[in-house]
Structure 1
Amino acid sequence: MKSTLKQILDREGILVLDGSMGTALENLGADLNNKLWTARVLADRPELVKEVHIQYFRAGADAGITCSYQASLPGLMETGYSREQAEALITRAVQVFLDARQEWWDAEGKQAGRSWPLCLASAGPYGAYLADGSEYKGHYGVSADTLRDFHRRRAELLWQAGADVLLFETEPSLMEAEVEAQIAEELGAPYWISFSCCDGRHNCEGQLLADCARQLARNYPHLQAIGVNCTKPEYIASLIGELKGASDLPIIVYPNSGEEYDPQTKTWHGVGTDRRFGDYALDYMKAGAVAVGGCCTTVADHIRQVVAARRTYTGK
């Protein structure tokens, strides 16, 4: 069985993405204060990752993101895994998702008349491997060749493992996004690119998001969608406008809930925003986003709010 973004949009009007893997794992008792972050849980307690996926399907998600954001080959090998073990762990992220999807579908999803969820294979940026918050700064000071070496094999493994879409997410710079796009084009894989942004117009490296969208839409035919994630929710509506004015690509958004990230403790702090996440989600749909979900510090309740916002928006 296969699903596509277009099929889900034709049926549902808006695609609901899932929420944070990290916060949901912490709520299940996992300790994420280490360089591998959620990848350590994938290695040691994959049953918790599976449970998180199922929680989001039950909340109404039409697509889920694999637990591979921090699972890079160099990151895993530097912490003691062999190359063979590291490659197997990256592949595991997709398999755990596929198993969770099938289990939920057989138990609940099919009978409830739900859409078959998309498997979005997460590939975090080079900054995530650095584990110092660089995905919110960019300016790594490395070459495009270094970035290509970092991303190529993981993208290949995720695609070969059976993902529906490669999701290059939390990208702070156009250069890294283009390197990833080139890799996906060579693989012939459908892919989405999602930027981290520092305000209502710019990615975290300071480039205009509209310029990034124009460049990517013009040169990369397998790119299916473009968007923003792990960004303050109050910036998203403006950023949707920037994307909408720059290309015809479908727009995906999944912000965090407003807190500030501490790279030392790998935790989020602050009070976030006073607005309900569902109210923001409805604004994003009205602004032109076709896929909406949550990133860091969002959980199943936030996704239920997105589902409710979709009902309001579509009338279904």
Structure 2
Amino acid sequence: MNPIERILAEYPLMILDGAFSTELERRGCDLNDPLWSAKVLMENPDMIGSVHEDYFKAGADCAITASYQATFAGFMRRGLTKQEAKELIQLSVSIATKVRDSFWADPVNRTNRPKPLVAASVGPYGAFVADGSEYRGNYGLTREGLEDFHRERMATLIEAKPDILACETIPCLIEAQAIVNVLKEHPDISAWISFSAKDGTCINSGERIEDCARWLDGYPQVAAIGINCTAPEFVESLILEIRKGSNKPIIVYPNSGEQYDAVTKTWHGSSTGMCYGDIAKQWFEKGAKLIGGCCRTTPDDIRQIALWGREL
């Protein structure tokens, strides 16, 4: 039984954390950098721990590590050695694990909730390129090329002993297939696969999410299928489309509804205007079993989900 299955066997909902970069920026970090939040692993790892702690206190049953944009090539391009890069990638897991264990050691924090998981974030190839291609999926790489890109980093994260991998913001099926192929090299770990979508039917590459879910459905190491970093108004439809292709647990953690400019690396527009917890409840009623937030969401948004989620 994988970690998600164990939690859902006892609880009807697993609550994820929210945006990491938003909280780091609120604490004064400048993330306008190709390494994005992974830069803080180099500069201020204690701040990463404080963000994890805030989300646990808000009600999150899972900490997604600060490794989304942490890659060997990215760190080495910054002048680090390969060993230094490996240590930073693994540091993202050890920080989250240490904070989780400290949080769980206090009996006050154990009421009516599961022990939180540590999910090692595996960002897409486009996050390394840092040109916004994770919102398009037009890499021009073969599946084998994508496997080569992901293989060493996934092995490094797995070596640090997270509970699960969070393979997130995947824009195209070929990258999901590459990740699954690498995952099969590590039969003792599970992962969720979360796509970025451009509308209520298709992921960012234009492929139907129903077809993606159907392809992933046959792989037992894939513990959940869903979407993240996607506009909230598309989520309800996407849940229904995923269910057509798979009976695996559905995971959703969209952004706040603002629009991201990949060139200027800034956000524009406004959020949905609705209470995030209220919309999240609608997603639960449509079939999502793992719910949290992505870019621009906050611990307050996660707290709103916990208000009703703990009463189920």
- TM-score under structure 2 normalisation? 0.96
Is 1:173 equivalent to 2:175 in the alignment? Answer: no
| Cα separation, 1, equivalents of 2:269 and 2:41 | 27
| Cα separation, 1, equivalents of 2:267 and 2:140 | 26
What's the CA shift for 1:79?
A: 1.6
Per-residue CA deviation, residues 237-296 of structure 1 (Å, 9 max, x unaligned), is 000000111111110000000011122343322112122111210110000000000000
For the Cα contact (< 8 Å) 2:2–2:223, is it kept in 1?
no
Report what 2:275 is aligned to: 276
Per-residue CA deviation, residues 2-58 of structure 1 (Å, 9 max, x unaligned), is 982123223321000000110011111111011100000011100000000000000
State how many pairs are aligned: 311
For the Cα contact (< 8 Å) 2:226–2:251, is it kept in 1?
yes
Per-residue CA deviation, residues 86-118 of structure 1 (Å, 9 max, x unaligned), is 111100000000111112122465554542101
For the Cα contact (< 8 Å) 1:124–1:171, is it kept in 2?
yes
Letter in 1 for 2:203: N
What's the CA shift for 1:72?
A: 1.1
| Cα separation, 1, equivalents of 2:116 and 2:88 | 22
For the Cα contact (< 8 Å) 1:3–1:116, is it kept in 2?
no
Instruction: Please list, as runs of the form range in 1=range in 2, the aligned pairs for 1:10-21 lying within 5 A after superposition.
Output: 10-21=9-20
Closer, same or farther in 2 for the Cα pair 1:264/1:248, shift >3 Å?
A: same
Per-residue CA deviation, residues 99-144 of structure 1 (Å, 9 max, x unaligned), is 1111212246555454210111100000001111111111111122
Is 1:135 equivalent to 2:134 in the alignment? Answer: yes
For the Cα contact (< 8 Å) 1:34–1:266, is it kept in 2?
no
Closer, same or farther in 2 for the Cα pair 1:111/1:272, shift >3 Å?
A: closer
For the Cα contact (< 8 Å) 1:3–1:118, is it kept in 2?
no
**SS where residue 187 of structure 1 aligns?**
coil
Report what 1:115 is aligned to: 114
Closer, same or farther in 2 for the Cα pair 1:108/1:76, shift >3 Å?
A: farther
**SS where residue 42 of structure 1 aligns?**
helix
Report what 2:160 is aligned to: 161
Letter in 2 for 1:160: E
What's the CA shift for 1:169?
A: 0.3
Report what 1:261 is aligned to: 260
| Cα separation, 2, equivalents of 1:201 and 1:114 | 33
Q: Which runs of 5+ in 1 are unaligned?
A: none
Report what 1:145 is aligned to: 144
- TM-score under structure 1 normalisation? 0.95
Report what 2:214 is aligned to: 214
Report what 1:252 is aligned to: 251
Letter in 2 for 1:81: L
| Cα separation, 2, equivalents of 1:264 and 1:45 | 26
For the Cα contact (< 8 Å) 1:3–1:117, is it kept in 2?
no
Report what 2:124 is aligned to: 125
Report what 1:198 is aligned to: 198
Identity of aligned residues (%): 45
Per-residue CA deviation, residues 159-208 of structure 1 (Å, 9 max, x unaligned), is 11010111110000000000001111111121110000000000000000
Report what 1:73 is aligned to: 72
| Cα separation, 2, equivalents of 1:108 and 1:86 | 36
**SS where residue 185 of structure 2 aligns?**
helix
Q: Which runs of 5+ in 2 are unaligned?
A: none
